[in-house]
Chains A and B, each alone.
Chain A
Amino acid sequence: MIKKQFAVIGMAAVLSQPVIAQEETQQRAGDEMRRPWQTQRPIVTSNAFNPAVSLILYGAYSRFTKSYQEDIHGFAPAGDAHGATREGLSLQGSELILSSNVDNKFYGSLILRLEDGKAEVEEAFFQTLGLPQGLTVKGGRFLSGIGYLNEQHPHFWDFVDIALPYRAMLGGNYGDDGVQLRWVAPTPLFVEFGAEALRGENFPASGAAKRGVGARSAFVNLGDDVGFSHSWRAGVARLEADAQGRAFEDHAHNEYSFTGKAPLNVANFVWKWAPLRNPAVTNFKFQAEYLQRDESGAYAFGLPVQDVRYGAKQSGWYAQAVYQFMPRWRVGARYDELKGGMPPIELAGTILDPEGHKPQRASVMLDFSNSAFSRLRVQFSHNQTAPKDANEIHLQYIMSLGAHGAHKF
C-alpha cells in the first residue's frame, strides 16, 4: 500500500501552469467573468518541498482464554510476524511514512516501523513515473505484489490480525529487497502483469540464496466494474523462494533449520459493492484468498543434529466480508483455515506435525471510524489453531496523523 500526498504533485502542477495561465488572462472576455484571475500560488519556502509525512499509531487490548497458543499446529513459526497479537494492553505498531515525488521521473517512499530500541525499515523504494507503454519499475525494499493482503500494511486490515494462511505461509506480509516490473495492458478490462526479483532474506525465503537473488515472483491481476454498483479484482501469483538455513525454535527450545525450495501459489478475489458507487452510507466488501505451498528440502534439527529430507504440501484459505451498515460503522466476519501436510516420520510429534489437526478460526468484528483518520474496533475470534479451542477478544485503535493517504482498491 502506497501513500502519497496529492499536495506535492498538485503544487508541481500549479507551478507549471503560469505560461498557459497568462494566455488565459489576456484572452478572457465577457461581462460575467470580471473576477480577476488568480492562481493558488503557494508561497515557496524550502520546507514546502518536504516529503508528505504520515504517522500511524495503533494498539490493542487483548484477552485470550487460557488454552490460547500462539503457534499454529503443523506449521513452522514464521518469526516475529506483525500479524501476531499479544495478550493485555499493547502497542501494536507505530509507522512513520515519508513519501514524495523525487522529480518528474521518480517517486520515493519510506515506511519505518518504530519499536522499542529499533526502527525497522518496512519499505524503502523508488518507483518510476515516466516509463512509456504502461510500464512501472519499483526498486528497493517493498512488500511483494503477490496476493491481495500482502501489500496491505496492518493499519489497513479489516481485522486486528492477519488471516491465518498469510501468518503461516508468509509470516504476515512478505517484503524483501528487490526490483519489481509491472505492466498495465491498454485494455478496457484492467489487466496487470508483474514480476519481481527479490533478495530472499525474509520468510518464507531465508539466507539470501543465489548470491542475493533468492526469491522470484510473477503475478497477474484482472479487474473491472459490473454495472454501477459492483466492482471486482482477481489475481493469481507465484512466489519461488529459496530458503537457506531458515531457523526457528519450538517451545522446548529445540532448534530447527530448513534449507530448500519454498514455492507458493496464491489466488485472490475481491468484490466490492457500493450503491451507485457511493460508499458513504452503506458498502460491502468480500474477499477470499487461497494459498498453497509445496516446500521441499531438508530439515536440520535435534542434538546431535540430524538432517531429514522434508517435503510437505500445505494449503490454506480465508474468506471475509465487511459491511458498512451506516455511516462510520462496519461489521465484519472472517473464516480462515489451514491444511498441514504430512511431515516425514522423523519429524512426527514435533511442531511441524499437524497430527491430523486442521487449524481454523472464525472471527467477527465491529468498527467505528469517526473520520477517515481514526478507527476503533472490537473483535472476537474463536480459535482452533491448536488442538485445544481458545477464544480471543480484542479492542483496537488505529489513528492516522498527517498526510491524507490513498489506499489501493
Chain B
Amino acid sequence: MKRAFLYLLAASLLLFSISAPAALRVFACEPEWGALAAELGGTAVSVYTATTGMQDPHLVEARPSLIAQMRKADLVVCTGGDLEQGWLPLLFQQGGNSRVHPGGSGYFEAAAFVTLLEVPSRLDRAEGDVHAMGNPHLHLDPRNIALVAAGLAKRLAQVDSANAAQYQTRHDDFAKRWMQAMRRWEQQGASLKGIPIVTQHKSWSYLNQWLGLREIATLEPKPGIPPSSAYLSQVLAELKQKPAKMVIRAAYQDPRPARWLAERAGIPAVELPFTVGGSGQAKDLFGLFDDTLARLLKAGQ
C-alpha cells in the first residue's frame, strides 16, 4: 500500500515535470466564454471549457476532471452572478490553486461588466431557484458580449503581460467584426420586434431585451422547477386568450414540454443553440447569433 502510494507520487511528479506550460491556461466555465477567450487570446492561450453547449449550466457537477483542470488554470473565466454556485466553489476548494480564486486577477466574472436584469425584489425559494444577484444568462445580448470582451482583453493583458500587445490587437479586430455583425443581426431581427413568445426557462431575457421579443409565458412554473402537465395546460389556456408566435427552448432542455405545448397551440417549437456548441452552426460566437437569428426568423415568418 505504502509502496503503491510512492509509485503514484513519483509518476505524477514525472508528469508534472514533462508538462511545461507554454500558453496561458484559461478555464472557461461556459462555452461562450471559452469561445471569447479563444477569439481574444489566439495562440497565446489554451482554453479548456468546463461545460458543453448541451449542458444545463445550473446542473454541473464538480467532476474529478474539472478539479484537475482547475488545478492547472492561470485564468478562470465565468459568468458569475451566482450561476456557478453549485459547483465552482467546490473546484476552488479542491483544486488547490489559489491564483484563480475570486478576488484575485486570476478570476474573471462576466457579470461584473454588465447590468443584470431581473434582480429579484423578493428572495424566497418559493419563487423557485432565483438568483439573488439577477438573471445571470447575460450572454445572449451581443452588446453584453462586447462589454465583457473589452474587460476580458484587459484582464488577459494583465495576467499575461508578455502578450499584452497581441491581446489588444486581437480585441480591436474582434470588436470591429463584432460591431459589424451586430448591425447585421439587428437589421435582420428588426421584424422580430414585439412578437409574443413562450420560453422554457428565464434564460432568454437578454435576447428578448435586445431583439424586443415579448415573453408572455414560461413553461417552468417557477425558475428551476420542471414543467408539470397541469401547469402546461394552464399555459395553453392562457395562450388561447393571448396567442404567442413560438415556443423557444435551449438545445440542452427537455424537448417534450415545448413540443407538447407547441402542437396544441399550433405554433412552432424552436430549438435555439443557447450557447456555442448548442447547434452544428453555432461553432463560435458569430455562428451562435447567426444561427439564433436564422432559427427565430424562420419560425417567425
Contacts and interface: CB of A to CB of B under 8 A. Distances in A.
A46 interface: no
Contacts of A185: 12-13, 15-16, 68, 71
A404 B58 CA distance: 12
A10 B94 contact: no
Contacts of A246: none
Contact of B129 (A6, A186, A371): A371
A173 B272 CA distance: 46
Q: Which of A27, A28, A188, A279 has the most CB of B within 10 A?
A: A188
Given A32-B143, A186-B19, A406-B62, A107 B93 contact: yes
Nearest to A134: B96
Nearest to B96: A134
Nearest to A18: B112
Interface in A1-31: 2, 4-7, 9-10, 12-14, 16-17, 20-21, 23-24, 27-28, 30
Contacts of A32: 142-143, 146, 179, 182-183
A130 interface: yes
B94 A184 contact: yes
Contacts of A127: 93
B151 A24 contact: yes
Contacts of B54: 228, 276-278
Contacts of A184: 67-68, 71, 94-96
A81 B224 CA distance: 35
B116 interface: yes
B254 A281 contact: yes
Q: Which of A10, A30, A223, A265 has the most CB of B within 10 A?
A: A10
Interface string B70-95: 01100000001110111111101111
Contacts of A130: 98, 101
Contacts of A24: 113, 147, 150-151, 154
A33 B147 contact: yes
A33 B94 contact: no
B156 to A, nearest CB: 12
Interface string B175-191: 10001001100000000
B64 A223 contact: yes
A interface SS class: mixed
B64 A372 contact: no
A10 B76 CA distance: 13
A187 B15 contact: yes
Interface string B142-169: 1100110011001100100000000000
Interface in A371-388: 371-373
Interface stretch (A63-71, A161-169, A231-239): A231-239
A129 B96 CA distance: 7
B258 to A, nearest CB: 13
A278 B55 contact: yes
B225 interface: yes
B93 A13 contact: no
B79 to A, nearest CB: 11
A225 B64 CA distance: 8
A9 B92 contact: yes
A409 B64 contact: yes
A309 to B, nearest CB: 25
A347 B158 CA distance: 71
A131 B119 CA distance: 36
B116 A40 contact: yes
Given A30-B175, A186-B71, A327 B254 contact: yes
Given A32-B143, A134-B96, A408-B62, A13 B12 contact: no
B97 to A, nearest CB: 7
Interface stretch (A189-197, A313-321, A356-364, A389-397): A189-197
A117 interface: no
A115 interface: no
A113 interface: no
B12 A191 contact: yes
A184 B8 CA distance: 12
Contacts of A27: 150, 154
A6 B15 CA distance: 33
Interface stretch (A214-222, A294-302, A332-340): A214-222
Contact of B64 (A14, A37, A39, A221): A221
B1 A265 contact: yes
A38 B115 CA distance: 6
Interface stretch (B33-41, B103-111, B262-270): B103-111
A187 B89 contact: no
Contact of B52 (A186, A231, A276): A276
B192 to A, nearest CB: 17
Q: Which of A38, A183, A185 has the most CB of B within 10 A?
A: A185
Interface in B9-51: 9, 12-13, 15-16, 19, 51
Given A32-B146, A104-B103, A373-B125, 13 more contacts: A14-B109, A16-B102, A32-B179, A33-B147, A127-B93, A134-B71, A185-B16, A190-B64, A193-B8, A218-B1, A231-B64, A231-B65, A371-B125
